[in-house]
């Protein structure tokens, strides 16, 4: 393999690599602004220039290049010797930094990029430390580029990454360079906003604080953010993301590079789709029909009652208990539903409970494709522990149109659920090939074959159809969900679940790739991960102490149960959650 030397160290390289690419692959720092691995190479910022010596083709003697070369563009060659720390290279770095800062407002204290700004970092590492510029600075305007992006023109260093992104990745070409010399500015064409499905990526690739996220503007200093590796929990893309959060609150979602899935990019839908996690009306405590609402202080009692009622209701159906209300102790004479305590309109619960009628009714479990494989596993285990022949089904899978590919190959997923395939894989492994879809399960309910249902939601927006509501109004059912909806008032027991950022697990994306994600923070208030809820319900059945849910132990349990595919799971990077580099100190 050919080799070159950078600052005295020798490195192998592949034919076609540039000097900067070899350096970056080997974690050798060479400052760079305009180079981005996902974009064409233009070599216009000039900070990466280095002294490059190469062997003379005839004599083999090492000779210096006639000038400094841009390492981002200059191909690596056998025997090359590169100096980025020589007096000439350092002099260039200092000059470039000085030019870039001439008209820069140096407003780091109020800039969102402070703490993750290449201009700030390189100024410290490669700059002069003081300005020699005494004249008036050129002032440039702030511009509203589109629904998500603001441009603070006077912070721009004209690297053109953003322009190349809209030309090469999205092919939408909204951005351009307008003007010449010191009056050059990034702009949009009149009346054409930066409004494509990937627009937020220009914020990530801007190496300075020029392109800003309206949603994140002045929300948080970046050095307080923890970064948790995660997977898109909104669509079936499986895009690798980093959830950036502080004190139990998401502040932004950024892409994590994965060459096999999403490269460097995510859609705006994935970037901003987490808002439902912090909705004011999140379900915080269980509710049981016929029981007064509990205050938050009575959370333990609420959970104990909800778990007990839930199991009692399902057991009464599974055992075909006739008449007697197994769960609430109510009189059988009124034909009330076993657990709802109210029973109006739900006497079909007891179609099971008609005296003298032998039950053939099953429990139905509808597992949402928003849930993880581990959630699906424990929910199915729990329901099957009560009714070994429970009917298993995958919840509704929302779709919007068809998959759309950008010129770069990046594809926007039409399927708006992260784990339809993973949930089906788990349920089929546990329940055979007879796993239904949501409509088929509802048809079973309407036929009277289902005596009680467990329904899981966890969708970021409305998902309950009139047909679903009509079908479920005829049987007692348990709802496990994160947000209130048209089923909440109908359900016999409502149990608050956890959004994907509040738990760990794995999703299988639209291409059958199973990827793990980590928990960013604990579920809101008294909500619990669905897998934990199922474990608690299993323990309640046996009067045992509930096991604490963990994705790792669940996966070994899944392996013991013969579930295939989970040995090839794609784990998150070894360096998991990144702690902030600054913490509050109480004084």
Instruction: Please report, as ranges, the residues that interact with ligand SF4 according to CB under 6 A.
Output: 156-162, 186, 206, 208, 210-211
Nearer to ligand SF4, 206 or 339 (CB): 206
**What is the nearest approach in angstroms of ligand SF4 to the Cβ of residue 208?**
5
CB of 49 to ligand FES, least distance (A): 7
Nearer to ligand SF4, 117 or 478 (CB): 117
Q: How far apart are CA 378 and CA 285, in angstroms?
A: 21
Q: Are 42 and 34 in contact (CB under 8 A)?
A: yes
Q: Which does 211 bind (CB under 5 to 8 A by kind): ligand SF4, ligand FES, none?
A: ligand SF4
Q: Where are the alpha helices (DSSP H) in 255-322?
A: 268-272, 299-318
Dist CA 119 CA 401 (whole Å)? 42
CB 27 → ligand FES: shortest distance, Å? 17
CA atoms within 13 A on the CB side of 314: 29
Q: Residue 160 binds what, of ligand FES, ligand SF4, none (CB under 5 to 8 Å, by partner type)?
A: ligand SF4
Beta-sheet pairing, 404-405 with 514-517: unpaired
Selection from ligand FES, ligand SF4, none that 46 binds (CB < 5 to 8 A by kind) is ligand FES
Task: Give the shortest CB-46-to-ligand FES separation in angstroms.
Answer: 5
CB nearer to ligand FES: give 33 or 566.
33
Q: Per-residue x/- marks for ligand FES, 20-49, CB under 6 A?
A: ------------xxxx-------x-xxxx-
**Least distance to ligand FES from the beta carbon of 67, Å?**
13
Of ligand SF4, ligand FES, none, which one does residue 96 interact with (CB within 5 to 8 Å by kind)?
A: none
- Report the phi/psi class of residue 495: left, alpha or beta, with left for phi > 0 and alpha for psi in -120 to 50: beta
Return the number of the residue (202 or 367) whose C-beta is nearest ligand SF4.
202
Measured from the CB of residue 97, what is the shortest distance to ligand FES in angstroms?
13
Q: Is residue 531 a contact partner of residue 375, using CB atoms and an 8 Å limit?
A: yes
Q: Is 290 exposed, middle or buried (0-12, 13-18, 19+ CB in 10 A)?
A: middle
| Least distance between ligand SF4 and beta carbon 210 (Å) | 4
Rank residues 165 and 303 by Cβ distance to ligand SF4 and give the closer one.
165
Q: Please say which residue, 48 or 288, places its beta carbon nearer to ligand FES.
A: 48
Query: How many residues bind ligand FES, per CB under 6 A?
Result: 11
Helices 420-431 and 373-386: crossing angle in degrees, nearest 10, is 30
Residue 69 vs 216, nearer CB to ligand FES: 69
Q: How far is the CB of 179 from ligand SF4 (least distance, A)?
A: 13
Cβ nearer to ligand FES, comparing 48 with 211: 48
Q: Which of 318, 350, 321 is nearest to 334 (CA)?
A: 350
In degrees, rounded to 5, the angle at the alpha carbon of residue 520 between the alpha carbons of residues 516 and 525 is 125
Among candidates 276, 214, 225, which has minimal Cα distance to 248?
Answer: 225
Phi, psi (5° rounding) for residue 120? Answer: -65, -50
100 touching ligand FES, by CB under 6 A: no
| Residue 24 token pair | 């970056």
- Residue 74's binding partner among ligand FES, ligand SF4, none (Cβ under 5 to 8 angstroms by kind) is none
CB of 30 to ligand FES, least distance (A): 8
Residue 284 burial by CB count (10 A; 0-12/13-18/19+): exposed, middle or buried?
A: middle
Residue 521 CB, nearest approach to ligand FES (Å): 37
CA atoms within 13 A on the CB side of 137: 17
122 is a contact residue toward ligand FES (CB under 6 A) = no
Structure tokens at 280: 């004011």
Name the binder of 206 from ligand FES, ligand SF4, none, CB < 5-8 A by kind: ligand SF4
Nearer to ligand SF4, 35 or 406 (CB): 35
The one of ligand SF4, ligand FES, none whose footprint includes residue 70, by CB under 5 to 8 A per kind, is: ligand FES
Residue 520 interacts with which of ligand FES, ligand SF4, none, CB < 5 to 8 Å by class: none
3-state secondary structure 79-104: CCEEECCCHHHHHHHHHHHHHHHHCC
The smaller minimum CB distance to ligand SF4, of residues 160 and 172, is found at 160
Q: What does each C-alpha distance from 305 to 35, 482, 583 come to in angstroms?
A: 59, 19, 40
In this structure, what token pair is assigned to residue 325?
Answer: 């209300």
Cβ distance to ligand SF4 smaller for residue 208 or 270:
208
- CA triplet 530, 531, 535: central angle to 5 degrees? 115
Contact between 70 and ligand FES per CB under 6 A: yes
**Which residues lie near ligand FES (CB under 6 A)?**
32-35, 43, 45-48, 70, 72
């Amino acid at each position: 393999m050919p080799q070159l030397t950078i600052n005295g160290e020798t490195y192998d390289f592949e034919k076609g690599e540039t000097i900067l690419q070899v350096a970056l692959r080997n974690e050798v720092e060479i400052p760079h602004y305009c180079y981005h691995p996902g974009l064409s190479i233009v070599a216009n910022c000039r900070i990466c220039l280095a002294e490059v010596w190469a062997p003379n083709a005839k004599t083999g003697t090492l000779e210096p290049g006639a000038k400094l070369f841009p390492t981002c563009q200059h191909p690596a060659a056998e025997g090359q010797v590169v100096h980025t720390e020589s007096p000439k290279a350092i002099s260039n770095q200092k000059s470039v930094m000085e030019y870039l800062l001439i008209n820069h407002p140096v407003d780091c204290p109020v800039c969102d990029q402070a703490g993750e700004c290449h201009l700030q970092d390189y100024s410290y590492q490669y700059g002069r430390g003081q300005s020699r510029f005494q004249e008036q600075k050129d002032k440039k305007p702030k511009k509203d580029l589109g629904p998500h992006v603001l441009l603070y023109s006077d912070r721009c260093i004209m690297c053109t990454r953003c322009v190349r992104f809209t030309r090469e990745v999205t092919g939408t070409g909204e951005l351009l360079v307008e003007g010449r010399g010191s009056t050059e500015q990034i702009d949009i064409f009149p009346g054409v906003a930066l409004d494509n499905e990937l627009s937020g990526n220009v914020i990530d690739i801007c190496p300075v604080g020029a392109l800003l996220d309206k949603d994140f503007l002045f929300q948080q200093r970046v050095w307080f953010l923890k970064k948790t590796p995660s997977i898109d929990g909104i669509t079936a893309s499986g895009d690798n993301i980093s959830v950036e959060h502080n004190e139990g609150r998401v502040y932004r979602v950024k892409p994590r590079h994965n060459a096999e899935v999403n490269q460097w990019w995510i859609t705006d839908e994935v970037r901003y789709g987490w808002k439902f996690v912090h909705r004011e009306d999140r379900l915080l405590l269980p509710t049981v029909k016929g029981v007064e609402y509990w205050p938050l202080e009575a959370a333990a009692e609420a959970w104990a009652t909800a778990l007990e009622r839930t199991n009692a209701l399902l057991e009464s159906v599974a055992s075909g208990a006739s008449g007697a209300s197994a769960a609430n102790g109510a009189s059988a004479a009124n034909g009330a539903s076993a657990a709802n305590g109210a029973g109006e309109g739900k006497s079909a619960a007891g179609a099971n409970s008609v005296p003298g009628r032998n039950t053939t009714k099953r429990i139905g479990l509808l597992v949402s494709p928003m849930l993880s494989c581990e959630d699906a596993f424990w929910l199915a285990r729990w329901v099957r522990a009560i009714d070994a022949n429970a009917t298993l089904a995958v919840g509704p899978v929302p779709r919007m149109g068809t998959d759309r590919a950008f010129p770069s190959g990046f594809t926007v997923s039409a399927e708006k659920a992260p784990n339809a395939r993973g949930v089906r894989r788990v349920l089929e492994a546990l329940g055979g090939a007879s796993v239904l879809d949501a409509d088929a399960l509802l048809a079973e309910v309407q036929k009277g074959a289902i005596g009680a249902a467990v329904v899981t939601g966890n969708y970021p927006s409305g998902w309950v159809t009139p047909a679903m509501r009509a079908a479920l109004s005829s049987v007692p059912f348990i709802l496990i969900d994160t947000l209130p909806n048209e089923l909440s008032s109908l359900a016999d027991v409502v149990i608050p679940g956890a959004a994907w950022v509040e738990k760990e697990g794995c999703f299988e994306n639209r291409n059958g790739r199973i990827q793990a994600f980590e928990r960013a923070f604990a579920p809101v208030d008294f909500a619990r991960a669905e897998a934990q809820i199922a474990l608690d319900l299993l323990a309640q059945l046996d009067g045992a102490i509930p096991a604490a849910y963990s994705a790792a132990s669940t996966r070994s349990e899944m392996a013991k149960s013969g579930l295939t595919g989970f040995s090839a799971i794609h784990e998150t990077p070894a360096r998991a959650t990144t702690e902030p580099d600054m913490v509050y100190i109480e004084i």
